[in-house]
Amino acid sequence: MDVAVLEVGGSHVTAAVVSPGGWDVTVVDRLKLESQQPAEAVAGQLAAAARKLPLASGLAVALPGPFDFETGVAWYRGQDKFDQLYGFNLGESLRAELALDRLMFMNDAEAFAVGEWTAGEVRGVERCVGVTIGTGIGTAFLADGRVVRAGETVPPGGELYKTSYDGKPLEDSISARAILREYAARTGTDEPGVKEIADRARAGDTVAHEVLLTTFGVLASALGPWLERFGVAKTVLGGSISGAYDLVATAFDSPVSATKDTEHSALIGAAAHYLRSK
């Protein structure tokens, strides 16, 4: 059974159909998303994207937290995205708007990890973790492809960002903004993005390389104890910063690789979870 999937980001929504036979992904459309509009308007944008898909078998939606993935209620606040959705029941709105018999929400970082376990870098690995790094950091600890969120072997809720490093929230040290802030502090210049810093590092900019190594060193230090507790055999990195992995591989002393498919992993993971949850 093909699965209709929406992957929702802060500035876009991707509408796709995933075919489980070979986990082929057909991207139907990628639309700009005005995430700071009123809740009803955001829901309308998502519904418009979903209408481009075959919805007879329902819809899977991968999106970031904070969000109650069981009830469909959004709890975004101070995120620079979706702030108007705070307390809004997106699930109820989409079900009514699209006349859906079945609707499933999934955390986007968890969808990425399940996608990589299903058809990517950690395919079939018994115990693994997926880490997405962009505006923030997302993690998902998997046992036999299923997300583990509770217990002493994983961070609170399975989310590493809820931990601290050097007395500060972890995302102050490992995120796109942390990299940009550190590079600006060292050079006195503002850079347009992490990709440019990575390009400078590859071109021989030692400061750029040091900033990336320091940042990913924090990730390795913060993640390391949890890898040991959970018995992780391999870690896969995703998100906008994963493209810099070639520059920072030496920061890790455990098996790590970067995704080869930044576009489709979360779509595949949401579809796989949707099918396994039936």
Q: Which pLDDT value is given to residue 44?
A: 97
User: What is the arrangement of strands in the sheet containing 137-143, beginning at the earlier edge strand?
Assistant: 146-148, 137-143, 127-133, 234-238, 256-258
Q: For the CA atoms of 237, 243, 245, 246, what is the dihedral angle to 10 degrees? A: 150
Q: Does residue 119 contact residue 23 with C-beta atoms inside 8 Å?
A: yes
Q: Which pLDDT value is given to residue 192?
A: 73
Q: Which pLDDT value is given to residue 196?
A: 93
| Residue pLDDT tens, the chain, 278 long | 999 999 998 889 999 999 999 999 999 999 999 999 999 999 999 999 999 999 999 999 999 999 999 999 999 988 778 999 999 999 999 999 999 999 999 999 999 999 999 999 999 999 999 999 988 899 999 999 999 999 999 999 999 999 999 999 999 999 988 999 999 999 998 767 889 999 999 999 999 999 999 999 999 999 999 999 999 999 999 988 888 999 999 999 999 999 998 899 999 999 999 999 87
Q: Which pLDDT value is given to residue 191?
A: 66
Q: Does residue 41 contact residue 97 with C-beta atoms inside 8 Å?
A: no
Q: Which pLDDT value is given to residue 240?
A: 81
CA distance 92 to 274: 18
